[in-house]
Amino acid sequence: MRYKTFQSKRQEMKLHVKYDIQTACKAILKEQLEQAGLLYKAINSSEVELKNQIGAEELAKLNANLKTYGIEILDDQKNDVIQKTKDVIIEMVNREEYLPPIKISAYIADKVKYSYGYLAALFSEVTFTSIENFIILQKIERVKQMILAGDLTLTEIAFKLHYSSVAHLSTQFKKTTGLTPTSFQSIIKKRRANNIY
Amino acid sequence: MSLDAYQILLADDDEVDRLFFKDAIDELKINSVLTTLNDGVQLMNYLNQKDVILPHLLFLDINMPRKNGMKALEEIRADGRLKDLSIAIYSTSSAKRDIEDALLKGANIYIKKPGDFEQLKKIISKAIKLSWQYHTSGLNKENFILSI
């Protein structure tokens, strides 16, 4: 095949592109992680889960490489405080012998080392829920686990988690999940039997 | 920045409902990205794209042409790749039987469509916030059930 004569003058050309930022970022993250030889479990929209711990030096290098693309690894002090607050609550609620401190707010403030007022405001701002609601949610999750384990009656669960009465527990359960403890139990059991989830 | 945003997917054939939904989410202060689809077939095609960013939460209308919400729910729960999606089914029915049926088939949230906008906003907000908690606080998703 023979070439046709070249055009004497190069013509400029304009291309219009459209891109999906999420796909692009994910691809960049993938490429950079692989280039750094890091094994990862998952890349979410804003999180990367690494299989192994990496050193500060490696982390700094990765951060520097990502910065060329305008991506930054967050070392957010706010998030640390929130995480610590959550950990304190989760630990408190899931202790085998649950014994709520007399003043939960003072307890949390003492453990996290910030004033409760600051923590409460920060918590609501970042997690879209109040500390109080988070505690209720965690307690109801524990109630769910206990119901499903099937070792204790609802009355015993209420006692163990220091609810003033089984009625109080049932009301909070219904308010949080929209279901009664009994129908919750029946649904999960059937789901398990059918291998849904 | 949208990378941090909470990804929400909505499949609903009713244009007005989609608009209401969008308004409701816009009025919430949550940093989120909403993608809308018109029916179950579109939804499954979307989810089955190779490099799709899976949503954190999927709102699924029960009554849709071509493929309804329940059918889509069953397909999603049978698919290993999509199994972990949090799903909110919504319907005009508040019959106990319908609620149980949806939850049994693997919905996390059952929403009875409210009559007015203010109520809708409240419900969507509640669904998103709770699902966000499950997403960020390491809660056991198997036990994530809510009926509103």
B15: containing domain? 2-147
Contacts of B132 in chain A (CB under 8 A): 127-128
Give domain A78-193's CATH architecture: Orthogonal Bundle (1.10)
The answer to whether residue A130 neighbours chain B at the CB level (below 8 Å) is no
Burial pattern B17-37, b for ≥16 Cβ within 10 A else e, equals: bbebbeebbeebeeebbbebb
To probe the interface with A, which of B86, B136, B141 has the most A CB atoms within 10 Å?
B136
Q: B2: pLDDT confidence band, cut at 50, 70 and 90?
A: very low
Please state the ipTM of this predicted complex.
Answer: 0.84
Give how far B62 is from chain A: nearest CA, Å. Answer: 19
* Cβ-based contacts of A127 with chain B (< 8 Å): 132-133, 136
B102 vs B90: CA distance, rounded Å: 9
Residue that is written with structure tokens 């029916």 in the block? B39
Residues of B in contact with A26 (CB under 8 A): 51, 53
Question: Residues A82-114: pLDDT tens digits?
Answer: 989 999 999 999 888 888 788 999 999 999 999
**Which of A25, A45, A93, A142 to mutate: most B Cβ within 10 Å?**
A45
Q: How many other C-beta atoms are found inside a 10 Å radius of the C-beta of residue A24?
A: 11
Q: Does the distance separating the beta carbons of B140 and A197 come in below 8 Å?
A: no
What pLDDT shows up at residue A74? 66
pLDDT digits (tens, 9 = 90+) for B105-144: 999 999 998 888 888 888 988 898 888 888 777 788 888 9
pLDDT of residue A4: 56
Which CATH number does the domain housing residue B29 bear? 3.40.50.2300
Query: Using one digit for the tens of pLDDT, what is the confidence trace for A133-155?
Result: 999 999 999 999 999 999 999 99
Helix pair angle (B15-27, B117-136), 10° resolution: 60
Question: For every residue of chain B, which 3-state class applies, written as one string?
Answer: CHHHCEEEEEECCCHHHHHHHHHHHHHCCCCEEEEEECCHHHHHHHHCCCCCCCCCEEEEECCCCCCCHHHHHHHHHCCCCCCCCEEEEEECCCCHHHHHHHHHCCCCEEEECCCCHHHHHHHHHHHHHHHHHHHHCCCCHHHCCEEC
Residue of B nearest to A126 (CA): B30
Cβ neighbour number for residue A173 with a 10 Å cutoff: 25
Does the reported pTM lie above 0.90?
A: no
Q: Is B110's CB within 8 Å of A178's CB?
A: yes
Instruction: Suggest the residue from A19, A20, A21, A22 to mutate for an interface test with chain B (most B CBs closer than 10 A).
Output: A22
Mean pLDDT of chain A: 86
Place of tokens 């899931």: A94
Distances (CA, A) of B50 to A33, B53, B54, B86: 20, 9, 11, 20
Residues 173-192 of A with CB under 8 A from B: 176-179, 183-184, 187-188, 190-191
pLDDT in tens, A164-197: 999 999 999 999 999 999 999 999 999 988 887 6
Our count of domains for chain B comes to 1
* Nearest-CB residue to A21 (from B2, B129, B142): B2
Q: Which residue has the higher pLDDT, A42 or B142?
A: B142
- Count of CB atoms within 10 A of residue B108's CB? 24
* Euclidean distance between CA atoms A57 and A101, whole angstroms: 42
Answer whether residue B69 shows pLDDT above 80: yes
